[in-house]
């Protein structure tokens, strides 16, 4: 009799304990259908193919990626022999530089974004002034603030380097003979530097095309390397996967504070209006009234980006786009109206966001706390119209902390073999 009471008693204790564990794990953060749908859309497992694969014939070519890897770390491609892509996109800083605004040959007025996972965006640069990963890669080389050099210089470096020359030919076929310096000067390109620009104008058009063709191929090889750099699944993604099968199990993956932060991200915070999709970005453009870096010289963002893209010889419509169909709807339907494009910047990905401070297009904010405060109390925009119309959002101090804790669940490694994450030299 006594024994039976004891068993019943311990049964109740076990029941109560599991009950407590169960409620603690869930602590009233249950997920409704709409939230579950949003969560699965944010999961990295929903990531599709990179748009680069269509427009770049060497996107998946191993030798091209190897060549691109070398070029990414090669300081010889700069005018002073000191700047490489990796000077501003450092692997140990998740391919950013930790600076407010970047510095190459000179200072740049924007913050260096990461290149990890950016191959999933249709628009490159924060104002989307290029529409492929390969055409993006050409610009820093000829930009007077970054590598400060010119296409002929870059092509000659590869031509003269035995290893790079071989890698080039393995992917693109024989390189033309460039030994005739009268036809192919070492410094020439459509750049600001007067001597190089003059030399370029004096070249025959057909010779210019030879140099440009090789330069474009080198940019495509760099893109092939960048395609290797993607984020691995983060704790959030494991949570999203588990949630589809077992809510209690999922709750073990994110703690209470992080789950509350996710709720805020989806609901009260309205963050996933723009930070949606598997990269936590709609890869579209918004004016969120970020303070201007320079009170005298405003950054007009997308407004200038649209004009630059349409003028570019290397946009989707160009002869160098490897997609035979050249489906350029994005250009066809591009929003040109001045008043709709002023002060817009592309929504950044939030994956591994804890590793890429400072934040915003010119590193205006040092911490995630400052970014969240921006959304709670957005400043008046100085150019254009702010998209944060349904804001400000009213978050308590605790809610802000929860939101920040959630952002930390997007941390993960880079999903690439170690060799791609260090210099090959």
Q: Which residues bind ligand HEC (CB under 6 A)?
A: 72, 83, 85, 87-89, 102-104, 108, 110, 112-113, 115, 118, 124-127, 136-137, 140-141, 146-147, 222, 226, 269-271, 273-275, 286, 288, 290, 345, 347-348, 350, 353, 356, 359-361, 368, 371-372, 375, 387-388, 403
CB 377 to ligand HEC: min, Å: 12
Per-position b or e across 365-403, b if 16+ CB within 10 A of its CB = beebeebbebbbebeebebbebbbeebebebeeebbbbb
| Pick 176 or 392: Cβ nearer ligand HEC | 392
The tokens describing 105, both together, are 């040959």
CB of 249 to ligand HEC, least distance (A): 26
- In the complex with ligand HEC, the residue whose CB is nearer, 26 or 257, is 257
Q: Least distance to ligand HEC from the beta carbon of 129, Å?
A: 7
Q: Which is nearer to ligand HEC, 207 or 288 (CB)?
A: 288
Least spacing, CB of residue 248 vs ligand HEC, in Å: 27
Helix 151-160 and helix 133-142, axial crossing angle in degrees, nearest 10: 100
Parallel, antiparallel or unpaired: strands 285-286 and 345-346 = antiparallel
Cα dihedral across residues 275, 279, 283, 288: positive or negative: positive
The rounded distance, in Å, linking the Cα atoms of 201 and 211 is: 13
* Least gap, CB of 415 to ligand HEC (angstroms): 17
CA–CA dist 278, 236 (Å, integer): 11
For ligand HEC, give the closer residue by CB, 159 or 345: 345
Shortest distance in whole angstroms from residue 168 CB to ligand HEC: 16
Q: Would you say 391 and 270 are in contact if contact means Cβ atoms under 8 Å apart?
A: yes
Asked whether the beta carbons of 298 and 382 are under 8 A apart, the reply is yes
The CB-of-182 to ligand HEC minimum distance in angstroms stands at: 28
Closest to ligand HEC by CB, 207 or 362: 362
Give the nearer residue to ligand HEC in terms of CB position, either 110 or 238: 110
Q: Give the pair of three-digit tokens for residue 54.
A: 């269509």
Where do the H-state alpha helices sit in 128-172?
133-142, 151-160, 162-172
CB 363 within 8 A of CB 96: no
Q: Which are the contacts of 178, defined by CB distance < 8 A and separation ≥ 6?
A: 155, 156, 159, 184, 210
**Pick from 131, 129, 322: nearest CA to 216:** 322
Q: How far is the CB of 385 from ligand HEC (least distance, A)?
A: 11
For ligand HEC, the closer CB: 110 or 207: 110
For ligand HEC, which is the closer residue by CB, 272 or 321? 272
Phi, psi of 297 (to 5 degrees): -130, 95
């Amino acid at each position: 009799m006594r024994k039976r009471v004891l068993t019943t008693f311990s049964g109740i204790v076990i029941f109560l304990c599991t009950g407590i564990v169960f409620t603690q794990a869930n602590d009233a953060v249950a997920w409704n259908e709409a939230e579950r749908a949003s969560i699965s859309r944010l999961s990295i497992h929903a990531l599709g193919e990179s748009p680069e694969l269509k427009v770049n014939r060497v996107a998946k070519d191993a030798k091209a990626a190897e060549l691109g890897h070398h070029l990414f770390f090669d300081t010889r491609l700069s005018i002073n022999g000191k700047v490489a892509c990796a000077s501003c996109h450092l692997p140990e800083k998740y391919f950013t530089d930790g600076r407010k605004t970047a510095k190459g040959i000179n200072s740049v007025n924007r913050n260096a974004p990461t290149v990890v996972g950016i191959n999933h965006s249709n628009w490159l640069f924060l104002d989307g002034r290029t529409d492929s990963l390969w055409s993006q890669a050409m610009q820093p080389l000829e930009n007077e603030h970054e590598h400060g050099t010119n296409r002929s210089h870059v092509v000659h470096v590869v031509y003269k380097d035995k290893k790079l020359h071989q890698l080039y030919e393995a992917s693109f076929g024989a390189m033309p003979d460039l030994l005739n310096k009268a036809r192919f000067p070492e410094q020439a390109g459509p750049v600001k530097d007067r001597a190089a620009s003059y030399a370029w104008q004096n070249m025959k058009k057909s010779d210019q095309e030879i140099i440009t063709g090789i330069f474009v191929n080198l940019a495509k090889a760099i893109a092939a390397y960048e395609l290797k750099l993607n984020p691995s699944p983060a704790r959030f993604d494991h949570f999203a996967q588990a949630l589809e099968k077992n809510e209690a199990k999922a709750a073990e993956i994110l703690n209470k504070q992080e789950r509350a932060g996710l709720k805020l991200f989806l609901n009260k915070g309205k963050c996933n209006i723009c930070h949606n999709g598997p990269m936590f970005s709609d890869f579209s453009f918004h004016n969120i009234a970020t303070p201007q870096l320079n009170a005298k010289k405003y950054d007009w963002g997308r407004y200038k980006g649209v004009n630059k893209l349409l003028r570019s010889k290397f946009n989707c419509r160009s002869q160098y786009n490897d997609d035979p169909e050249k489906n350029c709807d994005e250009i066809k339907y591009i929003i040109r109206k001045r008043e709709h494009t002023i002060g817009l910047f592309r929504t950044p990905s939030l994956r591994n966001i804890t590793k890429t401070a400072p934040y915003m297009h010119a590193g205006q904010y040092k911490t995630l706390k400052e970014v969240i405060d921006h959304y709670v109390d957005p400043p008046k925009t100085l150019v254009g119209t702010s998209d944060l119309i349904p804001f400000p959002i009213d978050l308590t101090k605790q809610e802000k902390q929860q939101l920040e804790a959630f952002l930390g669940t997007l941390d993960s490694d880079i999903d690439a073999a170690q060799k791609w994450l260090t210099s090959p030299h």
